[in-house]
Amino acid sequence: MIRPIIYDDILPLLHYGEYFWKQTPYQDVIEYNPEAVEDLLIEMAQNHYLRVTTDEDDKILGFIGIFISPFPFNPDYTLGTEMFFFVHPEVRDGRGKEMFKQAEEDLKERVTVLSFGDMVTSKDMQEYYVSEGYKLSENAYTKVL
């Protein structure tokens, strides 16, 4: 089942967030901050797009968060930027694709351009995005100062 988050989802999402953070290139230089992540989750749920996918017992198996803002070069349009997209590896192919498609469906009237990232620690996302009609628009290079 894919659904918006409820208050009881915050703690499991914070645990998933910590697990996810350890997979990022930032983990060695920036500490995981659960208070900031909780604030972000609430902001995403209230003002942007945040969904979870659960099993039959309502255990969270994955989550997707998309930040919605005016398109920077023309505010008559909107941009949806993926903040996070994680699905437990055991159900990734099925549930991940369902969440991806559901986000597109939910946002098609609200967002003009939808953008997903492909973190260097991700696996096979470029191939999936291209197969879903997305085009590579730019790469990002980061440096911790």
pLDDT at 95 over 70: yes
Whether the Cβ atoms of residue 86 and residue 78 lie closer than 8 Å to each other: no
Q: How far is CA 9 from CA 16, 31, 51, 85, 102, in A?
A: 11, 22, 10, 16, 19
pLDDT in tens, 56-79: 999 999 999 999 999 999 999 999
pLDDT at 4 over 80: yes
pLDDT at 133 over 90: no
> What percentage of the chain has pLDDT greater than the value 70?
97
CA-wise closest residue to 79 among 45, 44, 116, 112: 112
CA-wise closest residue to 111 among 70, 140, 142, 59: 70
pLDDT in tens, 100-127: 999 999 999 999 999 998 777 666 778 8
Instruction: Output the pLDDT for position 20.
Output: 83
Residue recorded with tokens 């983990």: 27
Looking at every residue in the chain, the average pLDDT score rounds to: 90
Instruction: Output the pLDDT for position 112.
Output: 97
Instruction: Output the pLDDT for position 90.
Output: 82
Average pLDDT for residues 17-31, to the nearest whole number? 87
In the chain, the domains with their CATH numbers are: 2-131 (3.40.630.30)
Residues in Cβ contact with 80 at an 8 Å cutoff, skipping those fewer than 6 apart: 49, 66, 67, 68, 107, 110, 111, 113, 114, 115
Average pLDDT for residues 88-101, to the nearest whole number? 85
The Cα 100–Cα 80 span in angstroms is 13
142 or 113, greater pLDDT: 113
